[in-house]
C-alpha cells in the first residue's frame, strides 16, 4: 500500500536538498526543502520555486540547528498554499503581507525569533492551525485575531514573554487547542472569554486569576462541562509577590471553588493561590493522574488526596503555612511524590487508624527537599521505592530505627544538606538493591556504618559519593575481606571537601572492581604506600587539592589505568617508580604541584622523565 501511494504521488510530492541540483515539474504541489547551510540567497529559493506558484505545501526543514532566513521573495508568489512551515528560522520579523494566502490552513513559526506577528495573519480566514511553540521573543499577538473564526489550534507553549491576550478571543469558537490564556481586567480580556470556547481540549494554563472580579465571572467559564480538557493549570500573581491580603484571599477561595473542572481531568496544577483552603472538589476528581500544588502560601491543610484511585504523581511545594501533614494515606496508585520548600512543616503522619504501613504501596520515587523543621520521615514499608532523595531536612538527627530495613527495591539514595544528621544506621546494609549512594553537606556526620557499607559494596552498590562532610575522619572497610574470597561491586568512588579526613587505607583495601576514583579538596588526607595495591580495575584517577600529599602510593598494580590527573598537590615532590609499568595510561595531567616535581618531569632532561615518556598525552603546568 505504501509503494502504491508513493508511485501515485511522485509527480506531486518532492523532497529536495538545496545543495543538489534538481528540476521541479510544474505539477508539483507539495514541497519539502531540507536546508543544512547557514546562509542561502533568495535567488536560490526563487530558482527552486519560480514555476510552482500552485504549491499547496511548503515545508522548510532546517537540519542541524542551522538557523536561516525564510524565503520572503518566494512566499509572495505562493497564493494557493495550504501548509506553510517556517519553524526554527532566524527571522525577527515577517516582511511580507499574508493577505494573498487565503487558502492557508496550517502555519508554523515555532522556534523563531519573532517579536511580533504581521497583522495580515488575521485575514487568513481559513487558517486552522497556528503553531508558535518556543517563540521566546514574541511580545504580543495580533490585535484582530478574533477574526480567525476557523482557527482550531493555537499552540503557544514556550512563548515566555507574552503578557496579555488579544481581545475577544471568545469569538474564536472553533478553538480546540489553547496553550494558555492570560486573564486581564478590561472587557474582552476577562476570564469569561473562555465561556464560548466549548471545544477546548488537551492542556490549558489559566494565568492571572487575581484579575477575576468575582465568583460569578469564574463560574461562567464552565470548566465543569469542558470534558475534553486533560490538563489544567490555574495560577495567580499578586503585586507583592505570592502573598495577598485577607480580602483577596477570600475572593481567591470563591473563584477557585467555581473553577471546578470536569471529572475526566487527568492533570491539575494550582500555583500561587492566595486562599487558606483548597477547593472542596479537589479530592472528587477520580481520574486525576497528576497533581501539583505550588506556592499556595496560606493553605494550612491538605485535602484527603489519598482517596484519588488513579493518582500517580503528586508534587507539593512552597506551602509555607502548612505545619502538619495528616490523613496522608491510601494512595493506592501513587508512584512519584515530591515535597519541597516547606519551611514550616514539622510533622508528617502517614499512619492509618494509628497503624504504620500501607500508605504508598506503589511509590517508586520520592524527593523531599528544603523542609528544615521536619524531624522524621515516613519511610516504613515502602517496598516498591527505587529512588529516594532527602535534601535540606535540617532537623533530621538520624533515621528512625527500622525505617530503612524494608526498602527492598531502593536503588538510589541521596542525602544532602541535613545539617544535624550525625549517623546513618547500620541497617543501610539491608538495602540489597542499592546501586547509588550520595551523601553531601552533612557537616555533623562523624562516621559511616562499617558493616552497612561492607555489605553494600559487596552486593550491588556501584557508585558512592561523599561530598562536603566536614566531620568525617575516615572511611570504613568496604567490600568483603580476603578470607571470604569476594570482591567489591563498587565502580565509582568520589570524595570531595572532607577537610579532616585523614586516611583512606581501610576504605580502599578491597575495591578490586573500582574503575573511577576522584578525591578532591581533602586538606588533611595522606596516603600510605599500599593504598592502591588492590585497585586492579581502576581506569580514571583524579587527585585535586590535597596539600598534605607528600608521597604517592605504589601504582604498579594499576595496570588498567588510562587517565591520571594530579592538581594542586603542593607537597608532592616526585612520582613513584611504578609509573613505567602503567602501559594502559593514555593521559597524564599534572598541574600546580611542588616545584621539584615539575622540575623532575622536564621533557628529556628531568630526573623522572623516563617514568612518563611512554604516555601519549602529557599535560604539565607548574
| pLDDT tens readout for residues 217-241 | 999 999 999 999 999 999 998 765 5
Mean pLDDT of the chain: 86
- Of the candidates 534, 586, 594, the one whose C-alpha atom is nearest the C-alpha of residue 565 is 586
| pLDDT tens readout for residues 567-585 | 999 999 999 988 988 999 9
228/3: higher pLDDT = 228
pLDDT at 435: 95
Q: Residue 470: helix, strand or coil by DSSP?
A: coil
Sign of CA dihedral 488, 413, 447, 522: positive
22, pLDDT greater than 70: no
420, pLDDT greater than 80: yes
pLDDT tier at 7, thresholds 50, 70, 90: low
- Residue 145 to residue 12: CA distance in whole angstroms: 33
Least confident range of 3-7, 148-152, 618-622 = 3-7
pLDDT at 485: 39
474, pLDDT greater than 60: yes
Evaluate whether 312 touches 290 at the Cβ level (below 8 Å): yes
622, pLDDT greater than 80: no
| pLDDT tens readout for residues 318-353 | 999 999 988 787 899 999 999 999 999 999 876 655
Q: Residue 441: helix, strand or coil by DSSP?
A: coil
Mean pLDDT, residues 442-465: 84
- Residue 569 to residue 545: CA distance in whole angstroms: 6
484/11: higher pLDDT = 11
| pLDDT tens readout for residues 374-401 | 988 888 778 899 999 999 999 988 887 7
- Of the candidates 42, 37, 33, the one whose C-alpha atom is nearest the C-alpha of residue 13 is 33
pLDDT at 496: 97
- Of the candidates 304, 303, 367, the one whose C-alpha atom is nearest the C-alpha of residue 335 is 367
pTM (2 d.p.): 0.87
- Residue 556 to residue 534: CA distance in whole angstroms: 10
- Of the candidates 306, 131, 128, 310, the one whose C-alpha atom is nearest the C-alpha of residue 230 is 310
pLDDT at 484: 43
Strand 267-271 and strand 313-317: the pairing is unpaired
77, pLDDT greater than 80: no
Domain positions in the chain: 526-622
Evaluate whether 81 touches 55 at the Cβ level (below 8 Å): yes
- Residue 440 to residue 467: CA distance in whole angstroms: 4
- Of the candidates 544, 545, 604, 610, the one whose C-alpha atom is nearest the C-alpha of residue 577 is 610
258, pLDDT greater than 70: yes
Mean pLDDT, residues 125-137: 96
DSSP character at residue 185: S
82: Cβ contacts below 8 Å, ≥ 6 apart? 56, 57, 103, 104, 105, 106
Evaluate whether 532 touches 508 at the Cβ level (below 8 Å): yes
Mean pLDDT, residues 243-250: 83
pLDDT at 32: 65
- Residue 140 to residue 162: CA distance in whole angstroms: 6
Mean pLDDT, residues 552-576: 94
- Of the candidates 262, 284, 121, the one whose C-alpha atom is nearest the C-alpha of residue 201 is 262
| pLDDT tens readout for residues 36-67 | 554 554 555 555 555 466 677 766 666 545 55
DSSP character at residue 275: -
Radius of gyration of the chain (CA): 32
With 0-12 CB in 10 A as exposed, 13-18 as middle and 19+ as buried, what is 185?
exposed
189, pLDDT greater than 60: yes
pLDDT at 469: 95
Mean pLDDT, residues 458-470: 90
Evaluate whether 248 touches 225 at the Cβ level (below 8 Å): no
pLDDT at 378: 82
- Of the candidates 602, 91, 100, the one whose C-alpha atom is nearest the C-alpha of residue 108 is 91
Q: Helix, strand, coil % (nearest 5) of the chain?
A: 15, 20, 65
% of the chain beyond a pLDDT of 90: 60
543: Cβ contacts below 8 Å, ≥ 6 apart? 519, 520, 549, 565, 566, 567, 569
93, pLDDT greater than 90: no
CB count within 10 Å of CB 418 equals: 24
Evaluate whether 124 touches 147 at the Cβ level (below 8 Å): no
pLDDT at 267: 98
Amino acid at each position: 500500500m505504501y509503494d502504491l501511494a508513493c508511485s501515485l504521488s511522485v509527480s506531486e510530492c518532492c523532497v529536495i536538498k538545496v545543495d543538489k541540483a534538481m528540476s521541479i515539474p510544474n505539477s508539483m504541489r507539495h514541497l519539502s526543502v531540507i536546508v543544512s547551510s547557514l546562509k542561502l540567497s533568495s535567488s536560490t529559493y526563487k530558482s527552486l520555486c519560480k514555476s510552482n506558484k500552485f504549491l499547496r505545501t511548503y515545508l522548510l526543514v532546517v537540519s542541524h540547528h542551522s538557523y536561516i532566513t525564510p524565503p520572503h521573495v518566494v512566499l509572495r508568489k505562493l497564493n494557493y498554499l495550504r501548509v506553510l512551515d517556517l519553524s526554527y528560522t532566524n527571522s525577527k520579523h515577517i516582511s511580507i503581507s499574508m493577505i494573498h494566502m487565503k487558502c492557508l490552513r496550517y502555519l508554523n513559526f515555532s522556534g523563531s525569533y519573532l517579536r511580533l506577528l504581521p497583522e495580515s495573519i488575521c485575514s487568513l480566514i481559513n487558517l486552522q492551525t497556528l503553531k508558535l511553540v518556543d517563540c521566546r521573543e514574541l511580545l504580543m499577538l495580533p490585535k484582530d485575531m478574533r477574526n480567525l473564526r476557523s482557527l482550531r489550534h493555537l499552540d503557544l507553549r514556550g512563548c515566555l514573554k507574552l503578557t496579555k491576550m488579544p481581545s475577544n478571543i471568545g469569538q474564536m469558537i472553533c478553538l480546540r487547542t489553547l496553550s494558555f490564556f492570560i486573564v486581564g481586567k478590561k472587557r474582552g480580556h476577562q476570564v469569561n472569554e473562555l465561556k464560548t470556547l466549548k471545544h477546548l481540549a488537551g492542556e490549558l494554563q489559566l494565568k492571572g486569576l487575581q484579575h477575576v472580579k468575582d465568583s460569578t465571572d469564574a463560574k461562567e467559564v464552565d470548566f465543569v462541562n469542558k470534558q475534553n480538557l486533560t490538563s489544567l493549570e490555574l495560577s495567580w500573581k499578586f503585586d507583592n509577590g505570592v502573598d495577598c491580603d485577607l480580602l483577596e484571599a477570600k475572593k481567591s477561595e470563591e473563584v477557585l471553588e467555581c473553577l471546578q473542572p470536569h471529572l475526566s481531568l487527568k492533570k491539575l496544577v494550582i500555583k500561587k493561590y492566595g486562599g487558606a483552603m483548597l477547593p472542596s472538589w479537589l479530592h472528587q476528581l477520580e481520574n486525576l493522574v497528576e497533581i501539583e500544588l505550588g506556592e499556595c502560601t496560606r493553605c494550612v491543610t491538605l485535602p484527603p488526596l489519598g482517596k484519588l484511585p488513579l493518582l500517580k504523581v503528586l508534587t507539593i511545594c512552597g506551602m509555607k503555612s502548612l505545619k502538619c501533614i495528616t490523613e496522608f494515606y491510601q494512595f493506592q496508585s501513587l508512584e512519584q511524590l515530591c515535597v519541597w520548600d516547606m519551611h514550616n512543616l514539622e510533622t508528617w503522619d502517614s499512619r492509618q487508624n494509628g497503624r504504620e504501613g500501607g500508605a504508598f504501596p506503589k511509590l517508586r520515587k520520592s524527593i523531599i527537599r528544603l523542609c528544615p523543621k521536619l524531624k522524621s520521615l515516613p519511610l516504613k514499608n515502602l517496598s516498591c521505592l527505587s529512588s529516594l532523595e532527602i535534601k535540606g531536612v535540617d532537623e533530621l538527627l538520624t533515621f528512625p530505627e527500622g525505617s530503612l530495613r524494608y526498602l527492598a527495591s531502593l536503588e538510589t539514595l541521596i542525602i544532602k544538606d541535613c545539617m544535624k544528621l550525625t549517623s546513618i544506621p547500620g541497617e543501610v546494609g539491608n538495602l540489597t538493591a542499592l546501586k547509588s549512594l550520595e551523601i553531601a553537606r552533612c557537616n555533623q556526620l562523624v562516621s559511616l556504618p562499617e558493616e552497612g557499607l561492607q555489605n553494600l559494596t559487596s552486593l550491588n552498590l556501584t557508585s558512592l559519593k561523599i561530598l562536603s562532610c566536614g566531620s568525617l575522619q575516615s572511611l570504613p572497610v568496604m567490600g568483603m575481606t580476603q578470607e571470604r574470597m569476594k570482591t567489591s561491586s563498587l565502580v565509582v568512588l568520589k570524595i570531595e571537601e572532607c577537610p579532616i579526613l585523614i586516611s583512606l587505607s581501610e576504605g580502599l583495601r578491597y575495591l578490586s572492581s573500582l574503575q573511577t576514583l576522584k578525591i578532591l579538596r581533602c586538606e588533611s588526607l595522606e596516603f600510605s604506600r599500599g593504598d592502591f595495591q588492590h585497585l586492579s580495575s581502576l581506569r580514571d584517577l583524579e587527585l585535586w587539592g590535597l596539600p598534605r600529599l607528600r608521597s604517592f602510593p605504589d601504582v604498579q598494580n594499576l595496570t588498567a589505568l588510562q587517565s591520571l590527573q594530579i592538581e594542586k598537590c603542593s607537597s608532592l615532590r616526585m612520582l613513584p617508580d611504578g609509573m613505567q609499568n602503567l602501559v594502559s595510561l593514555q593521559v597524564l595531567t599534572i598541574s600546580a604541584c611542588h616545584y621539584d616535581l615539575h622540575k623532575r618531569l622536564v621533557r628529556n632532561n628531568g630526573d623522572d622523565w623516563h617514568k612518563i615518556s611512554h604516555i601519549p598525552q602529557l599535560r604539565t603546568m607548574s
